[in-house]
Amino acid sequence: MADGVRARQREATRRALLREGRRLFALRGYTAVGLAEVVDAAGVTKGALYHHFGGKADLFRAVLAEVQQEVADRVAAAADAHEDSWTRLVAGCQEFLTASTAPQTQRIMLVDGPAVLGWSEWRALDEAASARHLAEAIAALVEEGRMAPQPVAPLTRLLSGAMNEAALWLAASTEATDLEHVRTALVRMLEAFRVG
């Protein structure tokens, strides 16, 4: 068998495991999903899973990284649709709230992510995916004089924490208007940091 065919088969197996792991983790949560269920759903063997991932936690880590990257891509696309740096910040933050409140995303990214991997590892993945973009947006606004001169890292952590908490609250909310109320409150909060 040619190396190219084997590489495609390996990648197809990996993608199937990620797809089915993601579906099951989102549907029932990390603790309720067994590896046998994932490999059955993906149509592969446990050996194939262990070839690609060290176990259930490693598969979950890969699923979480994929989800966080998708959210980060949505945030970046929403921000990049605007020329003005302030509008970019607001649009990106609002898109984070919208993207992260989808029930499947919320469960994997905000509920199970920190619980399964631990806070430090979860933060490192979050930093690599989206917190970096928030820090860059804040730094640009400080440099432009549109935010008061201040250390960027503390403000980034405060805003990120507030948005993560709001996303968790929204995921449990039953009121259709709560997302709009949170988005409005977020804009008011951000305005407090605006100069001019």
- pLDDT tens-digit map of 123-159: 888 888 778 889 999 999 999 999 999 999 999 999 9
What is the secondary structure of 34-49 as a DSSP string?
-HHHHHHHHT--HHHH
Q: Tell whether 58 is covered by a domain.
A: no
What is the domain-level CATH number for residue 129? 1.10.357.10
For residue 23, what are the domain limits? 1-53
Q: Tell whether 85 is covered by a domain.
A: yes
Q: Are residues 6 and 77 in the same domain?
A: no
Q: Where do we find the tokens 């990214």?
A: 109
Counting residues of the chain whose pLDDT is more than 70, the rounded percentage is: 99
Q: Tell whether 196 is covered by a domain.
A: no
pLDDT in tens, 90-104: 999 999 999 988 888
Regarding pTM above 0.85, the answer is yes
**Distance, CA of 111 to CA of 115 (rounded, Å):** 7
Residue 49 CB-density burial (10 A; 0-12 exposed, 13-18 middle, 19+ buried):
buried
Closest CA to 54 of 102, 87, 29, 17: 17
Q: Tell whether 41 is covered by a domain.
A: yes
